[in-house]
Amino acid sequence: MPISKEIMEQWGGETLITHLDKETQSIVLIGIHSSQIGPAAGGLRMKKYKNLEDAVTDVLNLSQAMTSKFAMANMKWGGGKTVVYLTRDLDTTEREQFFMRFGEILQSLQGRYYVGPDVGTSSEDMDIIYKTGKPFVFSRTVKAGGAGSSSVPTAYGVYAGIKTTCKFLFGTERLEGRTIFIQGLGNVGQILLKILLKENARVIFTDTNPELVDRMLKEEPTVQFLPPDKSYDVACDIFAPCAHGAILNATTINQLKCKGIVGAANNQLSEPEDAERLKIRGILYAPDYMVNLGGAMGITAIEAEGVPEEESIENVQKTISETLAEIYINAKSADTTTVEAAMKITQKRLEKYLPNKIGI
């Protein structure tokens, strides 16, 4: 896809690095949205896309969202992201060799960008990248000296967001008896489900993996499964998208039977106008980059700043609860969308360090 001047200006970032990995014919895209406050950081997403245009769109949007996440967390890091556009499946050896080569690319950036795991990659993969890309790697396995998966702090951040949303909607953050629908039981979704059950919430879930569904129903007989095609017809208090992005659009929003949306998935809105559509429907939307910042905030605090894991998770929940409450209050007061309210807070926090230099 031609990357036009207009696309880059709309993105507002610093650098988009493109690299063809000749051995696998995979295309590596590294988006550095901001490295002015501090080094850019963001996960490595590795998957088969329908086309290169979708991969480019993903890396631009996700890197921009990372800038917003760190601003919301009041951390001196900038936003970045890696997207690997796979043209075919890689075997174990090819995958390991690819990550070694990626580490060399990372090393060449000389600390301008730090990477961690994301969709399609793991802490074990970060261990491999570290061999050639050290020290610019987050979330290695505990055995290798890292903090492990970012799924735990991410899930606890979503949990904090759900409680804050319920308090705003119902006057109490207690989840006992509340119906929460989780779309997607990946690493974050599974942890979130367990947390919610401890709070005696009524949990409904969906996932496309039959084996995972069967296992979860055996492990947690009180939960209810619904087929994926019923995702937008579920009557619930909170809808928690924890799988793919761009799932909220003019069609699905019209189908929703929830009172609030709080989930871990990135870029949940298909287009900016969807925020207004949710507002018109009276559905309280927790901006995704606010709710799912727990992984980025938690892991960087543990590994870069030496914060103990338990304290880090507590800080994640406190930050998300307080900032999300501020977003809701400001949106209601100004009669605007929660996305607009969040953007104003983000810009204000960024300007604290670099007035008028970073666009969101």
Contact (Cβ atoms closer than 8 angstroms) between residue 82 and residue 28:
yes
Rounded CA-CA distance 266/188 in Å is 12
- Candidates 163, 157, 113, 149; CA nearest to 133 is 113
Max CA distance (Å), the chain: 57
Q: Both ends of the chain: CA-CA distance in Å?
A: 24
- Per the residue annotation, which of 69, 81, 259, 279 is the catalytic one? 81
Q: For residue 43, is it left (φ>0), alpha (ψ between -120 and 50) or beta?
A: beta
Rounded CA-CA distance 342/360 in Å is 11
At 236, is the secondary structure helix, strand, or coil? coil
9 burial type by CB count under 10 A (0-12 exposed, 13-18 middle, 19+ buried): exposed
Rounded CA-CA distance 330/350 in Å is 18
Query: Is 279 one of the catalytic residues?
Result: no
User: For residue 228, what are its two tokens?
Assistant: 């994926």
Helix, strand, coil in percent for the chain, rounding step 5: 50, 15, 35
DSSP per position, 167-201: HHHHS----TT-EEEEE--SHHHHHHHHHHHHTT-
- Residue whose entry in the numeric block shows the structure tokens 């001196």: 76
Beta strands (DSSP E) in the chain are 15-21, 26-32, 40-47, 78-85, 113-117, 179-183, 202-206, 224-225, 238-241, 260-261, 284-285
- Candidates 267, 308, 274; CA nearest to 290 is 267
- Residue whose entry in the numeric block shows the structure tokens 């979860």: 216
Residues with a catalytic annotation lie at 81
